[in-house]
Amino acid sequence: MSSIDENLNDILNITPEVIEASEISTIEETQIAVPEDKDAEVDFDTGRENLYKMLEKGNDAIDGILALAKEGEHPRAYEVAGQLIKTVADVSKDLMAM
């Protein structure tokens, strides 16, 4: 333990807790289970529907952030608007690729 940790422990009146290696849990790999009753066509339709919803919400958000940027004339608002426009364009490309 570093001297900074020891000083903080002394100041805060904390006793250091030692964790044994056997007490540390390991992260297990999980596999995504695809339900057998799901059809690829259903997945496609669901994904497509979600992309359309994202585009709609993204366009609404762009309108809002541009109005805010014009009102406040703050450079950060314009930066955020630019990032949002790029994100919506990327979603549009994903939809076209689908």
Residues with Cβ within 8 Å of residue 52, at least 6 apart in sequence: 95
Note the pLDDT of residue 90: 94
Residues 57 and 84: beta-carbon distance below 8 Å = no
Q: What is the pLDDT of residue 42?
A: 85
> How do residues 34-91 score in pLDDT, each as one tens digit?
667 668 888 888 999 999 999 999 999 999 999 989 998 888 999 999 999 999 999 9
Rounded to whole angstroms, how far apart are CA atoms 34 and 66?
A: 41
Contact 74, 34 (CB under 8 A): no
Q: What is the pLDDT of residue 55?
A: 94
What local confidence, expressed as pLDDT, does residue 1 receive?
A: 57
81: exposed, middle or buried (Cβ count in 10 Å: 0-12, 13-18, 19+): buried
Q: Which residue has the higher pLDDT, 12 or 51?
A: 51
